[in-house]
């Protein structure tokens, strides 16, 4: 059943709109074509609201957050004369989008605004439907931020209250079951999650128009259940079906999640080849989605600012106290500008802290007077032997032998003519690290030094940097780099490029003076 906003059609354009909505969640590309065609036929403002909303929902189904943001704001521009149902749908989609790009406060505000409009709906059925959608929006916020208990408590109250809406809308009921199952999986209540997923599966069989988004969500939760039950092969088969649907939608955000889960399941089966394959796919999708999300954030801030400005202009014509509105818009712009400046400043500060920290580690790697507090039983090592090993460690750090992929505690102990226990104890005592962490820090310090000293390194692929510093794979390098520095290698390189350009510009300016 369709949502209350599009239950009827009165014109050829409206009939085409209904047809397009049947395709949104299974063939969004075709729905986009219909929406663009409808906009070319000189529609009224009320129709523009519906058509732009169609485009926004279609781009959402494709995981194209930026175009979805742009079109949902376009829908809002023409919504003054629209029905309250359309206005609420716009707010709900905005909330979804803001949540996806981590603008949580804006997302909550949209849900609050939508809730405030519920009382303006004439139909009790419509009120019940949108109340259920708002509840699932709030629970989705908790789920996305991994507050499973809070989400579950919210959903528990909805079963009976929204039964009238569920009885008239199978997709809404299915969405509710999947959302509840997701909360239960997060709480490790696997049997209960299985119960709701089975109910959701039954609803799929009765659907006239196949909903890929609900089906993908259902399959992903089923795979999570199978993972908990250690049925990894079954989880993989389920995820591969989900991947086909996400591929058909061309939804990179969903493919990112699916590839990650496939990699985890293959890793559990010790299938390193397929783990590496899907881990690489995940990393590629991650970069694509991250870029898309950043574009959407930029568009959102710009459009929010424009929307504030438009509201100000409307208020200016209606009220004499437009000054207060102007102050509000100015305040928002200043806050947005300050936040963007602060984000950039903190990134650069973090870069300098990381480089300074690693330089200190390189120049002063040994603590000659370690803390007296002991965390484990010490091994008695002759003082002379300890000093000899420390001297060898210093020479080792000044070399590049640690970039050898075969380097291990046993190998280094052999090179030092000592035993592994002595070497491990001395590293733990003087560096407060185990051997693997010690080697990884040397490798990361080494590659950061290369990036600083030779600008060419900033243009090399991450896989080359990983190999150059002694890591066995792109993913292990990226993981270790982020664990040590706090940021991904790609982000670090971007910041370093900015810092390098800024220093060049300072030199140019100083010579000009």
Residue 273 within a domain: no
End-to-end C-alpha distance for the chain, whole angstroms = 71
Residue 442 within a domain: yes
Q: What gap in Å lies between CA 46 and CA 457, rounded to an integer?
A: 55
- The kind and range of the H/E element at 486 are none
Q: What gap in Å lies between CA 257 and CA 238, rounded to an integer?
A: 13
Residue 93 within a domain: no
Residues in the chain: 513
The pLDDT of residue 361 is above 50? no
Residue 3 within a domain: no
Q: Which two tokens stand for residue 19?
A: 């047809």
Identify the CA nearest to 249 among candidates 280, 211, 204.
211
Q: What is the pLDDT of residue 497?
A: 87
Q: Which tens digits make up the pLDDT trace of 75-104?
A: 999 999 899 999 999 999 999 999 999 999
Residue 92 within a domain: no
The number of folded domains in the chain is 1
Q: What is the pLDDT of residue 364?
A: 45
Residue 235 within a domain: no
- Packing angle of the helix pair 84-100, 272-318 (nearest 10 deg): 130
Q: What gap in Å lies between CA 243 and CA 258, rounded to an integer?
A: 6
Q: Which tens digits make up the pLDDT trace of 475-505?
A: 999 999 999 888 899 999 988 888 888 878 8
Angle, vertex CA 354, rays to CA 353 and CA 357, nearest 5:
80
What average pLDDT does the structure give for the chain?
87
Indicate yes or no: pTM above 0.75: no
Out of 8-17, 37-46, 443-452, pick the least confident. Answer: 8-17
Residue 35 within a domain: no
Distance from the Cα of residue 489 to its chain's centroid:
17
Q: Residue 447 — pLDDT band, cuts 50, 70, 90?
A: very high
Q: What is the pLDDT of residue 343?
A: 58
Q: What gap in Å lies between CA 397 and CA 438, rounded to an integer?
A: 10
- Report whether 103 contacts 301 (CB < 8 A): no
User: The domain that contains 508 carries what CATH number?
Assistant: 1.10.10.60
Residue 490 within a domain: yes
Q: What gap in Å lies between CA 294 and CA 340, rounded to an integer?
A: 12
Angle, vertex CA 206, rays to CA 205 and CA 211, nearest 5:
75
Q: What is the pLDDT of residue 366?
A: 39
Domain of 466 in residue numbering reads as 351-367+378-512
3-class secondary structure, 370: coil
What is the sign, positive or negative, of the torsion defined by CA atoms of 381, 387, 390, 392? negative
């Amino acid at each position: 059943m369709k949502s209350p906003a599009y239950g009827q059609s009165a014109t050829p354009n409206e009939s085409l709109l209904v047809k397009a909505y049947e395709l949104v969640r299974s063939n969004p590309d075709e729905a986009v074509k219909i929406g663009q065609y409808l906009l070319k036929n000189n529609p009224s403002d009320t129709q523009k609201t519906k058509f732009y909303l169609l485009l926004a929902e279609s781009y959402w189904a494709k995981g194209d957050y930026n175009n979805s943001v742009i079109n949902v704001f376009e829908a809002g521009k023409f919504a003054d004369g629209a029905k309250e149902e359309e206005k609420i749908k716009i707010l709900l989609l905005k909330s979804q989008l803001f949540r996806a790009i981590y603008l949580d406060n804006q997302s909550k505000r949209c849900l609050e605004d939508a809730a405030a409009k519920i009382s303006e709906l004439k139909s009790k059925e419509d009120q019940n439907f949108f109340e259920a959608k708002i509840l699932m929006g709030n629970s989705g916020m908790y789920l996305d931020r991994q507050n499973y208990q809070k989400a579950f408590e919210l959903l528990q109250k909805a079963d009976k209250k929204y039964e009238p809406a569920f009885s008239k809308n199978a997709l809404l009921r299915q969405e509710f079951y999947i959302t509840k199952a997701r909360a239960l999986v997060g709480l490790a209540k696997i049997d209960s999650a299985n119960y709701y997923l089975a109910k959701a599966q039954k609803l799929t069989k009765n659907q006239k128009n196949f909903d890929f988004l609900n089906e993908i969500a259902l399959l992903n939760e089923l795979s999570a259940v199978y993972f908990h039950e250690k049925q990894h092969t079954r989880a993989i088969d389920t995820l591969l079906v989900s991947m086909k649907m996400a591929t058909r939608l061309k939804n990179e955000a969903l493919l990112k999640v699916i590839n990650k889960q496939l990699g985890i399941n293959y890793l559990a089966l010790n299938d390193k080849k397929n783990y590496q394959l899907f881990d690489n796919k995940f990393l590629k999708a991650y970069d694509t989605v991250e870029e898309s999300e950043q574009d959407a954030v930029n568009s959102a801030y710009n459009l929010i600012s424009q929307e504030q400005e438009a509201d100000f202009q409307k208020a200016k014509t209606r009220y004499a106290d437009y000054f207060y509105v102007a102050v509000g818009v100015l305040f928002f712009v200043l806050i947005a500008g300050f936040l963007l400046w602060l984000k950039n400043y903190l990134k650069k500060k973090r870069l300098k802290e990381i480089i300074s920290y690693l330089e200190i580690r390189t120049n002063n790697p040994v603590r000659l007077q370690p803390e007296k507090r002991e965390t484990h039983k010490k091994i008695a090592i002759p003082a002379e032997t300890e000093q000899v090993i420390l001297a060898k460690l210093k020479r080792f750090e000044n070399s590049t032998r640690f970039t050898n992929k075969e380097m291990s505690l046993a190998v280094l102990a052999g090179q030092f003519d000592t035993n592994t226990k002595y070497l491990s104890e001395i590293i733990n005592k003087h560096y407060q690290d185990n051997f693997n962490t010690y080697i990884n820090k040397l490798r990361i310090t080494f590659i950061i030094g290369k990036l600083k000293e030779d600008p060419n390194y900033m243009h090399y692929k991450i896989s080359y940097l990983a190999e150059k510093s002694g890591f066995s794979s792109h993913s292990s390098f990226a993981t270790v780099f982020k664990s040590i520095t706090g940021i991904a290698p790609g982000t670090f390189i971007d910041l370093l490029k900015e810092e390098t350009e800024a220093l060049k510009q300072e030199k140019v300016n100083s010579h000009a003076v």
